[in-house]
Amino acid sequence: MEAVLSSKFYITSPIYYVNDIPHIGHAYTTIIVDTLARFARLKGKEVYCLTGTDEHGQKIEQSAQKKGKSPKEYVDEISRNFKNLWDEFGISYDHFIRTTDDYHIKTAQMAFLKMFEKGDIYKGKYEGHYCISCESFFTKFQLIGENYCPDCGKETTLLQEESYFFRLSAYQERLLKFYEHNPNFILPKFRRNEVINFVKDGLEDLSITRTTFDWGIKLPQNLIHQDHNNAKHVMYVWLDALINYLSALGFYNDLEDRRDFWAANYHIVGKDILRFHAIYWIAFLMSLDLPLPHHIAAHGWWTKEGAKMSKSVGNVVNPKEVVEAYGLDCFRYFVLREVPFGQDGDFSQKSLMERINSDLSNDLGNLLNRLLGMSAKYFNNALQVDLENLKKHYSTEFSQINKVLKSLETYMEEVQTNRYLEEIWTLFSLGNGIIAKKEPWNLIKEGKNEEVAELLIFLANLLIKSALCLSPFIPKSAESILSVFGLKAESRNYKKFVLENGLLPQIQLCAIPALFPKVENILLEEKETKNSQNPTTNTPLEITNPILKEDFFKIEIKVGTILSAEELPKSEKLLKLQVDLGEARARQILAGIKAHYTPQSLIGKQVCVLANLKPAKLMGELSEGMILAAKDEKGLTLITPQNLKKNGSSIS
């Protein structure tokens, strides 16, 4: 584990689009950012942590009109909601940026001008499909069906307007070389291929201005002076938004100069905006001749009890309500522990209660309570032992602790917060296990007070080290634990007890109220969703083509990963796929999905396969299974597992 260094560390959340109140996804992203920032401070680094709000675009203009407000009035209100919530949550950001701030507008205009003067921006005419909801452009080949957005499924708008373009196509090879030379740039690593495949599929120049609405950043004045027609152009919201990572540091504006924090150590984003950051943003920076970020880390989405959250359904989780009911640190622990980074997570109060009662109350809270109870009962809270004897008698356990502590930094570097926490929890299992094994209450009866004191000092040092490592995750609770030993979550203590394996042979304990009381009942009233309003009728449903359970059990549906995909000559519908089902060789499957998916977009994708379908020949090629898909009026979508599964896993 590296020594504590006084180096710069710059981390950002995305700036959140101000079209509604903050939801659990916003909170999850921001808590990850806050945790990494706190961890860097604990290591002694000088940290600059950025968050904020993205406030321009057609969607904002339309939402404001519906509310009967001006766009600025509308964004002021929603932006305030975000900032207030992060303050209530104790998010340790250093700057909160708004894209309506004057200094940001100045930076965006200067960046536009620099790219224009370099020859990377030119005027043309845009004709294509635009999704207002995602603020994204799509070619007809990317659409679902004839006219639906591949990201959100909503109908797109066909646009024809004068536009400035960024020469994204000119950066295709340079981007691919960058990804090749920086294999850890995109985290988690399994998302790397989807970005590389998107770029390899061919990059088109990017439309970066709009003329059909006004709510956006205008072009630089000298471009307007050159051509008065430029006054009707506003910047594409994603160009405007991404530039915030520079404007907050004082690039091309009058803010305090913090440019020495660049390049960013981490941009933390949701998986839905990975493409914008890993492709567009990097190309913009290349055009500006600026250093490139070290990592872009993309997390998954949250569902509610297995269902996608939707305001229309009424199952969106309000993080403020959850925190008010269950406590901030319990919520932080749950979202950081429950799901592997990059995978989708599922929120339920039942799962949250289980984490609180099992992990926080039983494992951690109980260990601390036992230490405090026995120290007060047997030693009046004053513990002292010979340090060398302590090291000798617990050498195996200290070796195990140190091994765990050395593994933690790698997990944080890869944003694997769940693995980090899992490792720390092995230490609490170790502590509780030793109490059960040694039975100190019996040792006291036998007059072995020194042996019990050593045990309690061992447990105290285990909790000190663990609490320091937990302080970025559950800050208030970790501070409470450390206060028992008269310590704080500071870089000097982290260095002494974690990096240098320091131990305290003498401790005066201070009692604190019990942490993490058990939750006996659900604390938030579950709102009835539209999907839950089932008709109360005993009329049986008519089942089309009914089968018996025995028939169903004959079906073998398995998870597989698409290794390669290519068009089948002379076929308008079929693609030829090689699919890994965990067998001795890959299966060849012909799928009629050519109208909905490009071959490159399928590589690395996990799918569900009807595996025991009798092989058949189609157009002279063997097909050894069937890919499952769903189709409605919006087009066709492949059925995929919610989380990554081992190839060959059965679906039942």
Annotated binding-site positions for Zn(2+): 131, 134, 149, 152
- For residue 183, CA distances in Å to 11, 188, 195, 583 come to 19, 11, 12, 28
As a whole number of angstroms, the distance between CA 15 and CA 18 comes to 9
SS3 category, 517: coil
As a whole number of angstroms, the distance between CA 625 and CA 579 comes to 10
Which residues lie closer than 8 Å to 57 by C-beta, 6 or more apart? 17, 135, 215, 216, 237
- Give the CA diameter of the chain: 94
**CA 489 distance to own-chain centroid:** 25
The secondary structure of 220-284 as a DSSP string is PHHHHHH-GGGGG-EE-HHHHHHTHHHHTTTTTSSS---GGGPSPSEEEEEGGGHHIIIIIIHHH
Q: Which residue has the tokens 């009035």?
A: 73
- For residue 558, CA distances in Å to 182, 248, 422, 463, 581 come to 34, 48, 29, 44, 7
Alpha helices in 317-386 (DSSP H): 319-326, 328-338, 349-354, 366-379
One-letter amino acid of 363:
D
- For residue 51, CA distances in Å to 26, 32, 97, 98, 481 come to 11, 12, 6, 9, 29
Task: Using alpha carbons, select from 147, 601, 200 the residue that is nearest to residue 139.
Answer: 147
Residue 8: strand pairing partners: 46
As a whole number of angstroms, the distance between CA 379 and CA 633 comes to 73
Residues in the chain: 652
Task: Using alpha carbons, select from 583, 639, 582 the residue that is nearest to residue 609.
Answer: 639
Element (H, E) at 593: none
- Copy the structure tokens of residue 523: 């604390």
Annotated binding-site positions: 131, 134, 149, 152
